[in-house]
Amino acid sequence: MPKKSYGAEEARTLLPELIERAHRGEHSVITKRGKPYAEVVPVGSRTNGKPRLSFLSLAGTGAGLWGHESRKTLKRLRDEWQ
């Protein structure tokens, strides 16, 4: 199904209609200054043939990101900006 494109202001006024179209299986692209910024798609649709990950599946993926003592790491990083 071809995607239809709408400017941001137009999409803002048409949002209820775009939601209904998504419910019927249509995809709509929202552009800003001619560049694609967002897409209104049906729930559960896939992009590029790959399933999308749930936001909740990211839980715990940052474990150890700040080191063993995250308070010290954050303090050091904040001190760098002063």
pLDDT digits (tens, 9 = 90+) for 40-74: 999 887 656 666 667 677 677 777 777 888 888 88
pLDDT at residue 1 is higher than 60: no
Burial class (CB in 10 A: 0-12, 13-18, 19+), 21: middle
Whole-model pTM: value is 0.53
> Could you tell me which CATH number the domain at 1-43 has?
3.40.1620.10
Tell me which of 67 and 21 has the higher pLDDT. 21
Q: Determine the pLDDT at residue 44.
A: 80
- Residue boundaries of the structural domains of the chain: 1-43
pLDDT grade, residue 6 (50/70/90)?
very high
Tell me which of 31 and 69 has the higher pLDDT. 31
* Residue whose C-alpha is closest to residue 30's, from 39, 22, 21: 39
Beta strand pairing status for 28-32 and 4-7? parallel
